[in-house]
């Protein structure tokens, strides 16, 4: 879908993807560095394509409430998720072979196996910070729209707002074990899923804690 629209409209969709409550015309105009009229034209086109819709309104300090615009489900799914189709095959196979009660453990093992293969490409990673930073790059390349972030106390985390397994995770949260298995093995850490889109969060946020000996 993204291949069929203009570059400016792609940028607009990416801005909306990173702001779950939605954005106003003024905010989009500032973010894209184009006029409000140009933003309205792009929004009209994207609404016609079913990618964007009007969301809630927000008070504007005494004036008319600001209309916010958000991605539709189709808009969310228009971003690349490069291996979700493979995960569906993996999950179906695990369910057949292991049963539902063992699925989480088995998916974590699969994620760990993937991490070992990827880590082999980066032998120079020594500190946990280096591993987290490289993992964010890898996840971004896989389609997660992932980035490094820092909590108020200075703790390094990874935030992602385009979970490649989102539709699967909404139906069965066990799929998240694959992500955690990959991330724990890649960073040699205990991963805590601090916020989860499948559970209603604005994004997925992962904390990295020391492994217990």
- The pLDDT assigned to 91 comes to 75
Closest CA to 178 of 131, 96, 85, 115: 115
- The pLDDT assigned to 110 comes to 87
pLDDT digits (tens, 9 = 90+) for 184-208: 999 999 999 989 988 888 899 999 9
**Low-confidence residues in the chain, pLDDT < 50:** none
Exposed e or buried b for every residue in 54-93, given b needs 16+ CB within 10 A?
A: ebeeeeeeeeeebbbbbbbeebbebbebeebeebeebbee
Q: Which residue has the tokens 């992962």?
A: 206
Cα 38 from Cα 32, distance rounded (Å): 10
Structure tokens at 122: 């980066």
156: Cα separation from own chain's centroid? 17
Q: Would you tell me how many other CB atoms lie within 10 Å of the CB of residue 118?
A: 15
At 188, is the secondary structure helix, strand, or coil?
coil
Q: Do 148 and 155 form a contact (C-beta atoms < 8 A)?
A: no
Q: Do 33 and 12 form a contact (C-beta atoms < 8 A)?
A: no
pLDDT digits (tens, 9 = 90+) for 107-135: 899 889 999 999 999 999 999 999 999 99
- The pLDDT assigned to 83 comes to 56
Helices 176-187 and 128-141 sit at what angle, rounded to 10 degrees?
140
pTM score of the predicted model: 0.62
- The pLDDT assigned to 34 comes to 95
């Amino acid at each position: 879908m993204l291949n069929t629209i203009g570059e400016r409209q792609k940028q607009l969709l990416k801005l909306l993807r990173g702001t779950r409550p939605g954005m106003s015309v003024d905010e989009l105009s500032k973010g894209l560095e184009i006029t409000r009229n140009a933003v309205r034209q792009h929004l009209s086109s994207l609404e016609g394509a079913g990618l964007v819709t009007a969301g809630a309104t927000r008070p504007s300090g005494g004036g008319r409430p600001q209309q916010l615009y958000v991605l539709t489900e189709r808009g969310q799914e228009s971003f690349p998720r490069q291996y979700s189709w493979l995960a569906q095959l993996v999950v179906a196979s695990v369910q057949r072979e292991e049963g539902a009660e063992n699925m989480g453990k088995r998916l974590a093992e699969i994620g760990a196996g993937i991490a070992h293969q990827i880590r082999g490409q980066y032998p120079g990673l020594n500190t946990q910070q280096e591993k987290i930073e490289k993992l964010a790059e890898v996840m971004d390349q896989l389609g997660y729209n992932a980035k490094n972030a820092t909590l108020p106390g200075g703790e390094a985390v990874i935030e992602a707002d385009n979970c490649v397994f989102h539709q699967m995770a909404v139906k069965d949260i066990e799929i998240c074990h694959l992500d955690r298995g990959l991330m724990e093995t890649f960073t040699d850490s205990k991963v805590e899923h601090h916020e989860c889109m499948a559970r209603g969060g604005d994004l997925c946020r992962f904390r990295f804690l020391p492994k217990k000996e």
